């Protein structure tokens, strides 16, 4: 099993005291499989993704990813996890404005010491970006920018791809096309995919669907 969560808990401090967001989540995801995580706003979906990605720390429970206990890692260890094992695609594209499309795609792989120009070219071709490589993010449409963000994530060859509403800023047709490519590329690399989405249409295309409600899997 690539990813295992056991009794995962997380609360956030407020003026009125701690507010539980995750109340003991158990789940698992095998390599090569896809999972949709659904739930109402505030149910803890993004919080769960952030914990798995090492962007935040849990209050209790364990996260075991590719044989490693994420909950035991320090800041540097979690950063290394994001450079290699985990790739994250956000709703906001988070591209670097001063870098070309080609340089944006290569950026994380270079940071991880895994840059492969041939892989970059293959990803650009698969995502319809070959003609855009010399352009800058501001010259691209929203759909094209999201494709660049996906290529940047996959260029590192992560074992697990986490996507937080990756098509939330796109129209329905573009969202479907972007998901087509994301699913195909993930399948070709053998990575696992966990995607937070409000779309029942997109969720139905994943291997499994889990629903978060009041901080628990239902």
| CATH code of the domain in which 65 resides | 3.40.50.300
Return d(Cα 7, Cα 48) in angstroms, integer: 12
Of 60, 46, 62, 82, residue with least CA distance to 159: 82
Convert the pLDDT of each residue in 148-198 to its tens digit.
999 999 999 999 999 998 887 777 877 888 788 888 888 888 899 999 998
User: Which of 99, 88, 101 has the alpha carbon at shortest distance from 193?
Assistant: 88
Residue 83 has a pLDDT of 83
* Cα–Cα dist 137/77, whole Å: 30
Domains identified in the chain, total number: 1
Mean pLDDT of 111-134: 92
Q: What is the mean pLDDT of the chain?
A: 91
Instruction: Give 11-42 pLDDT, tens digit per residue.
Output: 999 888 889 999 999 999 999 999 999 998 88
Q: Which residues contact 130 (CB under 8 A, 6 or more apart)?
A: 121, 124
Q: Which domain holds residue 101?
A: 3-217
Query: For the chain, how long is the longest CA-to-CA vector?
Result: 54
Q: What is the pLDDT of residue 184?
A: 86
Q: Percent of the chain scored above 90 by pLDDT?
A: 63
pLDDT at residue 198, as a whole number: 87
Min mean pLDDT across 39-43, 48-52, 132-136 is at 39-43
Contact predicate 185/124, CB 8 Å: no
Q: What DSSP character marks residue 85?
A: T
């Amino acid at each position: 099993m690539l990813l295992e969560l056991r009794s995962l808990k997380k609360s956030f401090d407020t003026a009125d005291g701690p507010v539980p967001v995750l109340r003991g989540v158990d789940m698992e995801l095998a390599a090569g499989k896809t999972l949709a995580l659904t739930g109402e706003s505030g149910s803890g979906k993004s919080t769960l993704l952030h914990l798995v990605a090492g962007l935040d720390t849990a209050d209790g429970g364990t996260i075991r990813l590719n044989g490693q206990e994420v909950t035991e890692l320090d800041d540097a260890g979690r950063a290394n996890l994001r450079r290699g094992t985990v790739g994250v695609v956000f709703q906001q594209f988070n591209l670097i404005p001063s870098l070309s499309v080609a340089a944006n795609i290569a950026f994380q792989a270079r940071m991880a010491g895994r840059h492969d120009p041939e892989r970059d070219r293959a990803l650009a071709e698969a995502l319809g970006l070959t003609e855009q490589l010399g352009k800058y993010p501001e010259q691209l449409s929203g759909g094209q920018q999201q494709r660049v963000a996906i290529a940047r994530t996959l260029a590192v060859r992560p074992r697990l791809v986490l996507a937080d509403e990756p098509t939330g800023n796109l129209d329905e047709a573009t969202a479907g096309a972007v998901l087509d490519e994301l699913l195909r590329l993930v399948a070709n690399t053998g990575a696992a995919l966990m995607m937070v989405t409000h779309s029942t249409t997109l969720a139905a295309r994943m291997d499994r669907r889990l629903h978060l409600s009041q901080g628990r899997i239902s």
